[in-house]
Amino acid sequence: MNYARVHCSIPKTLPFLKEKRYNTKNMQLYNSLTQTKQPFTSIIPKQVKMYVCGITPYDTTHLGHAFTYLIFDILQRYLTFKGYTVTYTQNVTDVDDDLLKRAKETKKDWEALGQFWTDKFLNDLHALNIIMPTYYVKATDSIDKIIEINQTLIEKNLAYEKEGNVYFRTKTNKEYGKLSRFDRKTMIKLSKERGADPSDPRKEDPLDFILWQKSKTDEPYWDSKWGKGRPGWHIECSAMVNEYLGEQIDIHGGGIDLIYPHHESEIAQSESFTGKIPYVNFWIHTGAVAYQGEKMSKSLGNLVMVSDLLKAYSPNAIRYLLLSHHYRQGWEYKEGDMEKAEKRVVAIKSALNKNLAKKYGEKSQIDNANHVMEFNSALQNDLDTPKALKIIDTMAGETSRTANFENQKTLREMCALLGITFS
């Protein structure tokens, strides 16, 4: 399954934004690995390899998912605007304990169930004008690579097989924990809460994580030298990064809850497999979205669905609401948020639709160069979309009050760069 770039395009040439004192310095991005903002540089000049962990399609997707994928949509758009060629891979975890459990509960074929919810998710992304990654791929398409990584780690004595399961030896990786910075006790606690089994008697160490697991009689399986089985969660992403992007990449992203154990384990197995360090130059994580006082989650059922919001509000308003929060900050969705966002979008649209006649040779009534510089600086500074939106709001107000054609054109380009478009 590869839905490579099936809709919309990234604006590379926005003349009004480019002409106005465009800031060509490196943008600053917060790196979860170093826990600091750093100047962004790519491994290969003017090329960016980016991977973002995708959904496990066993149920509907919600506003928290949309927040994550919209943020990386903006990052892709802005890097492209700055002249980078971005190769972006996003995955679907199409074989997983939760998915198989839901298929049994609903008495549905696991593949059909996964495809159904994947299609629903993609419809939401399409409605929100989110650009498809270069590669949108299923984990099960990389089984051969997964088996290869497992075998190599076993040969290096960095993994071991026990009763049809393959485990990674965490004690062989002295830097295990360098991303999360959790102590051993905390890691054991979190691994239990997030799907692992520290008490598994087949493990040499409670922190060892599964690379390959023996399939039950009623589960899907693939043949391997360790018997009929299926991949562990973490190894899937390592395999897809390796297969579609290579041994080292510039950016790896996902929600903040993936830092441990998922991304921590991914680093350990990938760097152990290739011998290349660092596996990822910049780790970027989005904050969690809450509702009714709790993190939005399928298990709690406190979900706000994009498909439901689209019945009452415009896609632009949903984008506006999500971008009004900085990507690293967790936030809570509240009733009334969408009404406020819709009003702002209506005001912007009104300014853009104002009938202005361009008068050639006439000096602009407002010099918007400072607005453009501030807009670019906001996005350069760790993708500060809330500040960028405030500048758009200011320019919309100025455009509505004055007959300034240049303001209007620049405002339209700013909106386009953030994926806010008006027919």
Question: What per-residue confidence (pLDDT) applies to 297?
Answer: 82
**What would the mean pLDDT of 278-291 be, rounded to a whole number?**
97
The rounded percent of the chain whose pLDDT value lies above 90 is 81
315-417: CATH architecture: Up-down Bundle (1.20)
The model's pLDDT over 314-335, given as tens digits with 9 standing for 90+, comes to 999 999 999 999 999 999 999 8
pLDDT of residue 362: 46
Mean pLDDT, rounded, for 327-347 = 97
Contact in structure between 208 and 272 (CB atoms under 8 Å) = no
- Tell me which CATH code domain 15-309 carries: 3.40.50.620
pLDDT band of residue 360 (cuts 50, 70, 90) is very low
Q: What's the rounded Cα separation, in Å, for the pair 113 and 111?
A: 5
CB 290 within 8 A of CB 318: no
pLDDT at 65: 94
What lies within 8 Å, CB to CB, of 285 at 6+ separation is: 32, 253, 254, 255, 256, 258, 259, 328
Q: What is the pLDDT of residues 153-187, one digit of tens each?
A: 999 999 999 999 999 999 999 999 999 999 999 99
Beta strands at 36-39 and 28-31: parallel, antiparallel or unpaired: antiparallel
On the question of a common fold for 15-309 and 315-417, the answer reads: no
Q: Write out pLDDT tens, residues 233-277.
A: 999 999 999 999 999 999 999 999 999 999 999 999 999 999 999
Residues with Cβ within 8 Å of residue 34, at least 6 apart in sequence: none
> What is the rounded CA–CA span in Å between residue 379 and residue 28?
9
Tell me the pLDDT band of 114, cut-offs 50, 70 and 90.
very high
Domain ranges of the chain: 15-309, 315-417
Query: How does pLDDT run across 47-106, given as a tens digit for each residue?
Result: 999 999 999 999 888 999 999 999 999 999 999 999 999 999 999 999 999 999 999 999
Contact 262, 234 (CB under 8 A): yes
